[in-house]
Amino acid sequence: MAEHHADADIAAVASLIAEPARAAVLTALLDGRALAAGELARLAGVSPATASAHLARLLDGGLLRVASQGRHRYYRLAGPEVAEILEVLARVSPRAPVRSLRQSRRARLLGEARTCYDHLAGRAGVELLAAMLAAGHLTGADSFEVTPAGEEALAGLGADLAAARRSRRRFAAACLDWTERRPHLAGALGAEITRALLERDWYRRDPAGRALRLTELGGKGLAAMFSCKGLTSHTPVT
């Protein structure tokens, strides 16, 4: 008798994400950081008790992981596949209305450069992938391989390609950017490049969220190494 497999229960995951406070918690963790319950409650605009109940459901549903440090518990996304789900939903969801100058500034910064879990996204991520393909550092379309020229350039950046190749996740893949509607580089290679960019102080994390700020050093470095001159059109931080 042929074996029949039931379809995946996507409704269970969808119901977890559909609640506004839980969606806010997941969005706050999209940059790959681990945050305490109190901070997530503040970001979601709910009481600590309500946040605790939502976090328990997200843990039970496999969307979050938690680690204890002393008396505190820190929550993060369960993995890059959860971030991918959220990014796909963002692409088909209406934009939230902008009602203040603060929200307008935040939206602009997120559009310029941000982390999509652990890799560079926004206009910066799209421009970097396009520049690497144009320079012959990468080949491919939906998934990519590093060329000898790319190996040299990424070694100069300080990216550990051997570590990226040892990872159990996809090595290098195109991820359609929800603000640009063009692909940026995802996977283990995208994460390793972003780590190197932050370590070299070419980008800095915005204290208020998951936006990244291009530094003056980074603008010069990206223009020299990858010909990413379009990224310097906004004012870098010093």
Model confidence pLDDT, tens digit, residues 107-163: 788 889 998 888 999 999 999 999 999 999 999 988 999 999 999 999 999 999 999
Model confidence pLDDT, tens digit, residues 44-99: 999 999 999 999 999 999 999 999 888 889 999 998 889 888 888 888 777 777 77
User: Which CATH number among 3.40.109.10, 1.10.10.10, 3.40.50.970, 3.30.70.270 corresponds to the domain 10-78?
Assistant: 1.10.10.10
DSSP string, 48-88: HHHHHHHHHHHHHTTSEEEEEETTEEEEEES-HHHHHHHHH
Domain ranges of the chain: 10-78, 97-233
Query: Which value, in Å, is the radius of gyration of the alpha carbons in the chain?
Result: 19
Q: Kindly report the pTM of this predicted structure.
A: 0.80
DSSP string, 151-199: HHHHHHHT--HHHHHHSSS-SSEEEE-TTTSSEEEEHHHHHHHHHHHHH
Distance between CA atoms of residues 169 and 171, nearest Å: 6
